Amino acid sequence: MAKYILKFSEIGATDIGKVGGKNASLGEMFNHLSSKGISIPDGYATTSAAFWHFLAHNNLTEPLKELMAQLDRKGYANLNEIGGKARDLFKTAKFPPDLAAEIISSYANLSNGPEIEVAVRSSATAEDLPEASFAGQHESYLNIKGEDELVGAVQRCFASLYTDRAIKYREDNGFDHSKIALSAGIQKMVRSDKGCSGVGFTLEPESGFRDVVHIAGVWGLGENIVQGTVTPDEFLVFKPSLRAKKRAIIRKNTGEKLLTMVYSDKGGTTINIETPEDLRRKFVLTDPEIIAVANWGLLIEEHYQKPMDFEWAKDGLNGELYIVQARPETVHSREHSITIHEFKITEKGSVLTTGEAIGSKITSGVARILHSPDDAEKLQAGEIVVTELTSPDWDPILKKAAGIITDKGGRTSHASIIAREMDVPAIVGTGNGTTQIKDGDIITVSCAEGETGTAYAGKLAWKETAIDVKNIQMPEHTQPMLIVGDPGKAFKLSFYPNNGVGLMRLEFIINDTVKVHPIALVKFDEITDKETKDKIEELTSQYPDKKQYFIDKLSQGVATIAAAFYPKDVIVRMSDFKTNEYANLLGGKDFEPIEANPMIGFRGASRYYNPRYKEGFQLECEAMKVVRNEMGLTNVKLMIPFCRTVEEGKKVINVMREYGLTQGVNGLEVYVMAEIPSNVIQAEDFAEVFDGFSIGSNDLTQLTLGIDRDSAIIADLFSEQNKSAKEMIRMVIEKAKRMQTKIGLCGQAPSDYPEFAQFLVEQGIDSISFNADALIKGIGNICSAEAKLSQHIAQAFLQKSLTN
């Protein structure tokens, strides 16, 4: 006789047909990973046999088949009616006494004393397969206590097999309704309502990048993450550093966490309360806890041999962490194509709202303001849903949407997950989308401009390019590299054909993430403006030492890019703001001089040893030490910009040594930008000080031709193709080759002008760095140049042979 109850200790991965994917996974982990240190609350599950017994006891099989036969499979106009009738059949059914007795007996054994609180979770027998996830389709009930409550919760779980969203999901994925059973998992309750909880992915959920664990968390129950009710904290952990027991947390973002979900006084129900201000500012997990959860994620992934997503919880009563669920990751695990679809907006319009970008696409269409799933009939296929937040009840509606915009939620909210699964752009956490966008407006949704997604008024123009990476031929001799500044794009860009990052600008991270002038953090008390001081206090509220704020934010930004391209070289250029740009940072006006021509003023190397900025440069160095020495990202090389003299170069090298960054130690290489005529004229001398050159063609052209490249009046005179500018480039490459020093170039010209790429290849340059949107064209130009050069050499050799 088939068993109605199986303990977790009796369940394994092969039991999906008996207890569904969710419960099979819990049993598998309980039996095989508990011994490796993963804490998994004990429990048991009703089997598929129990579900069929429930149906047979109430003669429900045929009535359910008849109802499903009446379903409108074209427009699903009667989905709500059919689903409601199906659920009513379950709700009015009588629970089989023998099954109830087994559930209660197992509950008593689990409690082993006074009755305990349990979670009752639904697990469909075709659930959580790599090719189809039923996640969120069925109901779960938390904080259930007592025999009657427990049996009632199991019955409600059975009924949830026929939620509207579950019916539609099975239709979309070709499942026969009559062949799917529902298993109820009964698990000891983790009191995360008094602690915190969240989700994790053993890859980066946006790009599918495999070398990180992504963790998100909120105070209280984790439903607020799934529903997108709040913006969670987010953490990224780099797997190679984690395995090497290095400092592995490469990114920490504080979410707003405005609400905390807790249990109400009524069993099985929950309520949201406002999160206290001090907890909003505080991370839900400490660094050791983040590492513990990430290590568990690694163990889970290694056991299942595939990317996984999992749910974790921290019990607020005993302070212990637990894994309460795990399933195969279903978006990127299905992807086999290595075609890059590049989207680039080519027209700008009026900004309606901004938020976190999900995906990297652009779309336009009619904006449809929806306040609940009851508004479903208002949405036409191809329109853009604009709403406060979404939940699994929205799934049938969102299938018709061309894009999604929500007021609330973060990168792991329900709207984000659905957007990725449907491969449509979404902007989440706008805060004001439903008020700034009017129902019926034509809008453009752009997620192709970094981590920030933007909704523009009207239908704007954009360009889409499909690139099959398999068909891209890489050059034989000249390395194509990337120019990167935005950590938010790093994981996606890592899939592009490249030999690493030839120029990583710190300015984007300082502007976008740090926001504060480093000296304003060193000399906070000297800031004169109260409003500025208040803003800095707010940004640095978690840091007793404000300098540490700069070090953490900068090191995490650099580490994200370095991790994305590891172990390929990532050449990080130390800060190269001009004085007017530094002054725009918070607190900057108090510490920056006013210059008539900042472009050729107090910038680059001259700042690093100058008392005006030396302490700021120390913070930059401290951040680079964290990245290289503590995180283990030794693929980071450092580069000094705008170094006017050899003596100045030596001063900077000495200052770096003073701050703990010594050339050659731990493989550290320090490059210099070749962007001033003096760098070219004295290239041999600079090569004695530095490990490599990177030609900054914009500044070198500017200073060779005496053109202010910020001046619109003489902009037409600026050209890297100018004979004098090219001669300067030829000279510095020739000298670098003679000194056996590496040399590359960063700039747009080699992608725009094939003849310029030809010129660089002929000179024997080692690498050329491109912005992402120019990389593919640039690679093509390099390959053509190399082919022509080879042909020219072959012809010359043949001519010489014939002459001889």
379 burial class (0-12, 13-18, 19+ CB within 10 angstroms)? middle
For tokens 């404000």, name the residue. Answer: 546
Instruction: Give which of 382, 323, 81, 334 is closest to 190, Cα–Cα.
Output: 323
Residue 335 pLDDT greater than 60, yes or no: no
- Model confidence at 130, in pLDDT bands (50, 70, 90)? very low
| Mean pLDDT of the region 270-297 | 96
Kindly give, in sequence order, each residue whose CB lies less than 8 Å from that of residue 671, ignoring residues fewer than 6 positions away: 571, 637, 638, 639, 640, 690, 691, 692, 693, 694, 742
Confidence at residue 332, expressed as pLDDT on a 0 to 100 scale: 67
- Number of Cβ within a 10 Å radius of residue 142: 23
Q: What does each C-alpha distance from 428 to 316, 436, 493 come to in angstroms?
A: 29, 14, 22
pLDDT tens, 586-614?
999 999 999 988 989 999 999 999 999 99
Residues designated as active site: 414, 746
Confidence at residue 138, expressed as pLDDT on a 0 to 100 scale: 86
Residue 492 pLDDT greater than 50, yes or no: yes
Confidence at residue 741, expressed as pLDDT on a 0 to 100 scale: 97
pLDDT averaged over every residue in the chain: 92
pLDDT tens, 391-401?
767 877 888 89
Length of the chain: 804
Dihedral of the alpha carbons of 234, 236, 237, 238, in degrees to the nearest 10: 180
Residue 267 tokens read as 């069993």
Instruction: Give which of 741, 776, 784 is closest to 760, Cα–Cα.
Output: 784
pLDDT tens, 291-327?
999 999 999 999 999 999 999 999 999 999 999 999 8
Residue 129 region, left (φ>0) first, then alpha (ψ -120 to 50), else beta? beta
Q: Report which secondary-structure segment, H or E, holds 680.
A: helix 677-681
Q: Which amino acid is at 573?
A: R
3-state DSSP of 442-504: EEEEECCCCCEEEEEECCCCEEEEEEEHHHCCCCCCCEEEEEECCHHHHHHHCCCCCCCEEEE
User: What is the rounded distance in angstroms from the CA atom of residue 205 to the CA atom of residue 421?
Assistant: 11
Confidence at residue 267, expressed as pLDDT on a 0 to 100 scale: 59
Residue 356 tokens read as 């976190």
For tokens 């160095």, name the residue. Answer: 621
Residue 305 region, left (φ>0) first, then alpha (ψ -120 to 50), else beta? left
Q: What does each C-alpha distance from 658 to 614, 615, 622, 630, 652 come to in angstroms?
A: 11, 12, 11, 18, 10
Residue 691 tokens read as 């490990």
Residue 168 near residue 398 (C-beta atoms within 8 A)? no
pLDDT tens, 201-256?
999 988 899 999 999 999 999 988 877 788 999 999 999 999 999 999 999 999 99
Q: Tell me which range, 307-316, 405-414, 793-802, is most confidently predicted by mean pLDDT.
A: 307-316
Instruction: Give which of 399, 448, 396 is closest to 427, Cα–Cα.
Output: 448
User: What is the rounded distance in angstroms from the CA atom of residue 256 to the CA atom of residue 280?
Assistant: 6
Residue 149 near residue 41 (C-beta atoms within 8 A)? no
User: What is the rounded distance in angstroms from the CA atom of residue 136 to the CA atom of residue 416?
Assistant: 13
User: What is the rounded distance in angstroms from the CA atom of residue 645 to the CA atom of residue 678?
Assistant: 7
Across-strand partners of 328? 308
Q: What does each C-alpha distance from 510 to 160, 261, 513, 552, 557 come to in angstroms?
A: 49, 35, 6, 11, 9
pLDDT tens, 414-443?
788 788 777 799 999 999 999 999 999 999
DSSP string, 259-270: EEEEE-SSTT-E
Residue 322 tokens read as 């637990």
Residue 128 pLDDT greater than 60, yes or no: no
